[in-house]
Structure formats: structure tokens, C-alpha cells
Amino acid sequence: MALCCPEAALRELQEPEVGGDWQFFLEISDGIRIYRLFLQESCLYEYKIYGTFPDCDPELFVDVYMDLKYRKQWDSYVKELCEQECNGQKVIYWQVKYPFFLANRDYVFIRERHDLDVDGRKIWVFVSKCVPGLSVKSGVIRVEDYHQTVAVESDGKQGTKVFMHYFDNPGGMIPTFLVNWAAKTGVPSFLKDMHKACANYPEYCRNSGK
């Protein structure tokens, strides 16, 4: 299973590709639609998300998405999040809080940013994927199978059009039904928090002296 390359993400922004075994999953109240694809080998799902943030400029959205320090302010599930050097390249270390009866998960991944101009359309594409490196912390489970592609452009008005393609296998002894339930609640919650974070970012920048 491989997620979108930048070229495929551009096509998805223009027209969603959710035929075949892709299933409509749910729609968030502000018009964001989520689709999922069942993966037989893991009994998990990968997800495609389409929608707009009608009151968020795309450059603002990109700034919020890229700002790791700010995410620690608005994402309550972040335990640790920082950029580090590993094997001669910059990687992102991300530890996620889990309920008290489960071990936290952490990720080591690279995030590629592509700023594109396609026939006058200004588009940003971000591709994230796990890489080996950094020692595993005691009591924390390392996620080794995580991919995310995000594509962003103007909606032609005052907002941002967004496409996301996402898969995450948390590993460990978590029942599959619980993983899929967490995705059903966690993905919409993250998008709503991201929307709110965009609205609050100018004030955060003023207060932090950015």
C-alpha cells in the first residue's frame, strides 16, 4: 500500500478518486467528506479526506500545518513534537498520548514540502513517511507504518481547499475495532481543532513575537 505522490495529490484536489473499493465514511458538519479503504492484510483502513476551510487563507493553513511549536499548543494529544537530526537528515519526532491503559506511540518521519505552480494555481503538497532511526523510548511503542499526503490550494474565494490521504498502523495489542473507532472520532476531531488553530494563529504569532 502506497500513498499519493505529489502528482496524484494534484489530481485528487481537482477531482476525488474514490471509485473501486473506496467507501464513503462520514461527513463533518462543515462539508469535509471522509472516505476509507479496507486493507485485508492488516484489517485496518486507509483514509482520503476532501473539503474546504472556508474562512482560512491557504498560506495561513500552510503556516499552521508547518509550525510544530504551535501544534503543541493546540493539539492535546501531543506529548512530544520536535525536529531532530538523524542519520544526516532532518526528521520529525512525534509522541502521541494514548489512554492510561495503553502505551503511548511515537513516530520518526520525514516531511517533504513541495510548493508548486500549476497553470497559475498555487498548490502546496506535503508528503510524510516513517523512516528508521532514533532509539525507542522505554514504555513507548514505535509506529513503523505511517504515511500522509496533504495537498492545499485556494478554494477560489477566501478559503482553503484540502485533500489528505492517510494511513497509520499503531501496532501493539490494540483491538482492530478500537483502532478503527479512534480513526472515526480522531480524524474529525483533528480537523476541527486544526480549523480552530488557523483562526487563532495570528494571535499566537503576536504573543510569541513571531
Radius of gyration of the chain (CA): 17
pTM of the model: 0.90
Q: Cα separations (Å) of 156 from 34, 68, 119, 201?
A: 22, 28, 14, 22
Domains plus CATH for the chain?
Answer: 29-208 (3.30.530.20)
pLDDT in tens, the chain (210 residues): 445 677 788 888 888 899 999 999 888 877 789 999 999 988 888 999 999 999 999 999 999 999 999 999 999 999 999 999 988 889 999 999 988 788 999 999 999 999 999 888 899 999 999 998 889 999 999 999 999 999 999 998 999 999 999 998 988 877 777 777 777 777 778 888 999 999 999 999 998 877
- The total number of residues shown for the chain amounts to 210
Cα end-to-end distance, the chain, whole Å: 40
How far is residue 87 from each of residues 90, 113, 138, measured CA to CA in Å?
8, 20, 21
Cβ-contact 154, 122 below 8 angstroms: yes
- What's the one-letter identity of residue 133? G
